Structure 1
Amino acid sequence: MTHTELPVDHEADLKPNLAQHAALLVVVCVIGLVGNTVATENTLIEGIIGLAVIFAIVMIGLILTNVVPLRLPSVAWISLVGIVATLPWTPGNAWVLDAVSHVNFLTLATPCLAYAGIAIARREIEIAKTSGWKIFIVAILVMTGTYIGSAFVADLFL
């Protein structure tokens, strides 16, 4: 097999490094801070402190993802760091819980979900082109069913 025939992992080139992750997280934190300040009664300082704690937890989890030889997804490492930081016997857990309690997680999820909704890859566009009009019908039915199902469950339990 020659050099030109070797498979190339293009997705590995697209993954951000630690510094790029930090820069992206700062942007998400700023957007989340604006939403948290507008949507809740928390002060700006409370939001900054809470988001700084979340930022630190995420960065420690990302560092562990790159350093620890056990290959777990970054979300697993980030979750483990967050769990350990809030365990009752961890020093400072009450402060961490208090700081993070001032962050409304729905305001953090909103920009992430909005980005996920508009971030369509070239491959997904090609799939939509080759699938034709049938995928549009399926999408409409799935969205309608999800909405009706959610409304039914909400009406039933709320």
Structure 2
Amino acid sequence: MRSLDLKKYVLYFILMSITGIIVLAGQALGMHKQFLGAIPGMFLIISLALGCFAVKDAFPKFPLPAYALATIVGMLVSIPAFSISKLFVPQIGTVEFMPLCTPMLAFAGISVGNKIEELKAMSWKIVIIAIVVFTSIFFACALISQTVLKIQGVI
């Protein structure tokens, strides 16, 4: 277990807060949703993300990356069977999903851009892997949609 660098987490908090303000501004301007009312939800999202970064830094051999851990923790705190969801879901529900996608995709692009040499080393094999993954996801989504629509009697 490693000690945590407080300066790094203050910087993370500042950067995530700036991103959060931009997300909430986009939500308010583009979707005509509340800005001030969504601040507690954004603060909870930032807190969960910082906690996941801290776990990953404290336990470097932890098998999951921080973003995967954050996804799992986010799902767990939103399950209605857990009493903690009564605190998280109403607050986090005030933050719209679509405005959050833009910075997440931008950061994902930056992280891939930092590994461009590794991607070049994979050469043509990465194209085959991408085609298989995209095709599998497409058909899985289509199957799930078909099943749900049939159950609902829409089709």
TM-score range for the pair, normalised by the shorter chain length? 0.5 to 0.7
Structure 1 letter corresponding to 2:148: F
The percent of aligned pairs where both chains have the same amino acid is 25
Q: Shift of the alpha carbon at 1:34? A: 2.9
Residues 1:57 and 1:148: Cα distance change in structure 2 (over 3 Å)? closer
Q: Shift of the alpha carbon at 1:105? A: 4.0
CA–CA distance in 1 between the matches of 2:44 and 2:120?
A: 44
Do structure 1's residue 132 and structure 2's residue 123 form an aligned pair? yes
The Cα offsets for residues 39-78 of structure 1, whole Å up to 9 and x where unpaired, read as: 655322212243234445555x379759x99x978757xx
Matched position secondary structure for 1:17: helix
CA–CA distance in 2 between the matches of 1:57 and 1:147?
A: 30
Give RMSD over aligned pairs: 4.0
The runs of 5 or more residues in structure 1 that have no matched partner are 1-15
- Partner residue of 2:95? 103
CA–CA distance in 2 between the matches of 1:53 and 1:137?
A: 39
Q: Shift of the alpha carbon at 1:118? A: 4.0
CA–CA distance in 1 between the matches of 2:129 and 2:48?
A: 40
The Cα offsets for residues 98-154 of structure 1, whole Å up to 9 and x where unpaired, read as: 4333222453344213421342254x3223222222321321232122122212221
Pick from 1, 4, 14: which aligns with 1:23?
Answer: 14
Do structure 1's residue 154 and structure 2's residue 145 form an aligned pair? yes
CA–CA distance in 2 between the matches of 1:29 and 1:57?
A: 13
Residue pair 1:31, 1:111 contacting (<8 A) in 2 also: no
Matched position secondary structure for 2:20: helix
Do structure 1's residue 32 and structure 2's residue 23 form an aligned pair? yes
Structure 2 letter corresponding to 1:113: L
- Partner residue of 2:35? 44
Q: Report the TM-score, using the length of structure 1 for normalisation.
A: 0.56
The runs of 5 or more residues in structure 2 that have no matched partner are 1-6, 150-155
- Partner residue of 1:117? 109
Q: Report the TM-score, using the length of structure 2 for normalisation.
A: 0.57
Residue pair 1:47, 1:103 contacting (<8 A) in 2 also: yes
CA–CA distance in 1 between the matches of 2:29 and 2:143?
A: 30
CA–CA distance in 2 between the matches of 1:57 and 1:125?
A: 29
